[in-house]
């Protein structure tokens, strides 16, 4: 016996049929040709099913018209008013299409890569913005794929289900099972993080998805914990992101690092003058040599590690003038990169 079609699928089939009919469809035509209505065991059951579906679609704003056949008042059919139902043409500015392109680059997982590529292709086909890609050149987000744990964690966040997983701690390398009430998934520091309540420790914690080993398991029923208060989530996120806000003073080559420029404070708000910036003496010969052909920007940040990774991504186009801990963090990352690729930097081949 064939499996019955879900009511939502039957509604969608009805919409497709009424949109594509050349003139109208009678009830008999709908019953015999639209998948789902053949499940009705009797004429009365079909009438109730169809009337209920018709009312549902109208409540959703889909304009179903009743059409009477010429010369036959009882010959009634149905169709969808195309003019009232169709959406207006999509008109995207170059900046809007560029922003969508940037968002699509953010999702690199195989599960959604095909869909985002197909959607952008269709949008570019109807848009008149061939130069859109130029607007986001150099702004590609540096966030790695979330991996297999992203999907189960996202479902658990929405369903408020407790999850357990094997996690390798960054500081100690210790591997142990964690039981967590998942609150939020956030993209930071070049990767994805889970923020939630660690049941074993009894406090809010953050977990980098790339350090989760093996499968994420959802334990127990949906709604296992109350939604966290917004202030608790905000406090946990701020603590994880690095606390209070600071301002980085950066020397940037002209027409480079557009993402940092977009975050920079206006000159008046930064409090900088022509000769000094947040304690950096620009007339010092060593500093003056660095900033001679560069722009000095004041960029706010909260996470030292995240800001260091942002700066590192621009290579020698960006030099940190202040604060010293940020400059040291960037240098530390550069040394790590040099140790990972000694031959490229001359470390292994020169002896």
Question: According to the model, what pLDDT value does residue 181 have?
Answer: 94
Question: According to the model, what pLDDT value does residue 136 have?
Answer: 45
Across residues 260-286, what is the average pLDDT?
60
Question: According to the model, what pLDDT value does residue 234 have?
Answer: 75
Cα–Cα distance for residue pair 261/40, rounded to 1 Å: 63
- Residue ranges of the chain assigned to CATH 1.10.10.10: 7-85
Higher pLDDT, 203 or 274: 203
| pTM metric for this prediction | 0.41
Question: According to the model, what pLDDT value does residue 44 have?
Answer: 92
pLDDT tens readout for residues 319-349: 998 888 888 888 888 887 676 555 444 443 3
Question: According to the model, what pLDDT value does residue 101 have?
Answer: 67
In sequence order, what are the residues at sequence separation of 6 or more whose Cβ sits closer than 8 angstroms to the Cβ of residue 198?
178, 179, 180, 204, 205
Average predicted confidence (pLDDT) for the chain: 76
pLDDT tens readout for residues 74-85: 678 899 887 777
Beta carbons of 274 and 295 less than 8 angstroms apart: no
Instruction: Please give the CATH architecture assigned to the domain spanning 7-85.
Output: Orthogonal Bundle (1.10)
Q: In the structure encoding, which two tokens stand for residue 295, read together?
A: 């722009």
- Residue ranges of the chain assigned to CATH 2.30.30: 150-241
Question: According to the model, what pLDDT value does residue 280 have?
Answer: 58
Q: What percent of the chain has pLDDT over 70?
A: 67
pLDDT tens readout for residues 18-64: 988 878 888 899 999 998 898 888 999 999 999 999 999 988 888 88
Pick from 177-191, 193-207, 272-286 the range whose average pLDDT is largest. Answer: 193-207
pLDDT tens readout for residues 188-204: 655 788 889 999 888 88
Q: What is the 3-state secondary structure (H, E, C) of the chain?
A: CCCCCCHHHHHHHHHHHHHHCCCCEEHHHHHHHCCCHHHCCCHHHHHHHHHHHHHHHHHCCCCEEEEEECCEEEEEEEEECHHHHCCCCCCCCHHHHHHHHHHHHHCCCHHHHHHHHHHHHHHHHHCCCCCHHHHCCCCCCCCCCCCCCHHHHHHHHHHCCEEEEEEECCCCCCEEEEEEEEEEEEEECCEEEEEEEECCCCEEEEEEHHHEEEEEEEECCCCCCCCCCHHHHHHHHHHHHCCCCEEEEEEECCCCCHHHHHHCCCHHHHCCCCCEECCEECCCHHHHHHHCCCEEEEEEECCHHHHHHHHHCCHHHEEEEECHHHHHHHHHHHHHHHHHCHHHHCCCCCC
Lowest mean pLDDT among 33-47, 98-112, 131-145, 159-173: 131-145
How many Cα atoms are found within 13 Å in the side-chain-facing hemisphere of 229? 3
What's the CATH number for 150-241?
2.30.30
């Amino acid at each position: 016996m064939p499996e019955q079609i879900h009511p939502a699928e039957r509604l969608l089939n009805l919409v497709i049929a009424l949109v594509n009919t050349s003139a109208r469809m009678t009830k008999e035509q709908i019953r015999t040709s639209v998948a789902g209505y053949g499940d009705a065991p009797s004429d009365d059951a079909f009438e109730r099913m169809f009337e209920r579906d018709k009312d549902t679609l109208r409540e959703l704003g889909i304009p179903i018209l009743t059409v009477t056949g010429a010369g036959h008042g009882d010959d009634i059919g149905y169709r969808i008013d195309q003019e009232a139902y169709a959406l207006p043409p999509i008109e995207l500015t170059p900046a809007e299409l560029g922003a969508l392109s940037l968002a699509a680059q953010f999702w690199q997982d195989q599960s959604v890569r095909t869909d985002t590529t197909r959607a952008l292709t269709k949008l570019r086909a109807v848009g008149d913005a061939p130069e859109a890609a130029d607007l986001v050149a150099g702004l590609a987000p540096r966030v790695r794929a979330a991996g297999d744990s992203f999907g189960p964690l996202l479902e658990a966040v929405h369903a408020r289900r407790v999850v357990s997983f094997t996690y390798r701690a960054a500081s100690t390398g210790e591997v142990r099972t964690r039981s967590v009430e998942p609150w939020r998934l956030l993209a930071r520091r070049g990767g994805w993080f889970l923020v939630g309540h660690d049941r074993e420790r009894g406090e809010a914690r953050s977990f980098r998805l790339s350090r989760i080993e093996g499968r994420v398991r959802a334990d127990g029923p949906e709604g296992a914990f109350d939604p966290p208060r917004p202030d608790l989530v905000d406090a946990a996120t701020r603590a994880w992101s690095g606390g209070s806000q600071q301002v980085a003073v950066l020397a940037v080559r002209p027409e480079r690092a557009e993402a940092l420029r977009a975050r920079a404070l206006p000159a008046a708000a930064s409090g900088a003058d022509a000769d000094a910036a947040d304690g950096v003496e620009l007339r010092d010969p060593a500093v003056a040599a660095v900033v001679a052909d560069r722009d000095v920007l004041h960029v706010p940040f909260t996470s030292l590690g995240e800001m260091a990774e942002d700066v590192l991504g621009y290579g020698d186009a960006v030099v940190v003038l202040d604060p010293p801990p940020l400059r040291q963090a960037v240098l530390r990352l550069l040394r790590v990169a040099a140790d990972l690729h000694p031959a490229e930097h001359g470390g292994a081949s020169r002896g």
